[in-house]
């Protein structure tokens, strides 16, 4: 399970928000990678997740991205604990 802290005004960077014009929510990019990269090597997935996190302006650690890549590769569920600040 990963952890991330995000400001309330930036939630649209993480979660898809139909009322926001922000075009790169991490949730959407993660779901797309999960649908297309199952069974692929973790080392191939990590840079794609890093690029998605960078586009979404989210500060995931290398360990978080590695865990997420492992979940995508294996098809396992991944839980992310989100702390929202104001």
pLDDT at 19: 79
Predicted TM-score (pTM) of the model is 0.89
Extract the tokens encoding 53: 């996190």
Considering its fold, how many domains does the chain have in total?
1
CA torsion sign for 54, 49, 47, 84 is: positive
Mean pLDDT by 10 residues, the chain (86 residues): 88 84 85 96 98 92 95 94 92
Instruction: Please report the pLDDT score of residue 24 as a whole number.
Output: 77
What pLDDT score was predicted for residue 7? Answer: 92
| Tokens found for residue 85 | 């600040």
Angle at 42 between CA 38 and CA 47, to 5 degrees: 105
Q: Which domain holds residue 53?
A: 2-85
């Amino acid at each position: 399970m990963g952890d991330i802290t995000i400001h309330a005004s930036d939630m649209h960077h993480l979660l898809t928000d139909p009322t926001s014009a922000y075009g790169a929510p991490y949730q959407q990019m993660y779901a797309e990678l999960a649908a297309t990269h199952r069974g692929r090597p973790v080392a191939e997935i990590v840079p794609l997740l890093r690029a998605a996190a960078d586009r979404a302006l989210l500060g995931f650690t290398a360990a978080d991205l590695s865990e997420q890549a492992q979940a995508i590769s294996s098809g396992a569920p991944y839980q992310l604990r989100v702390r929202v600040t104001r």
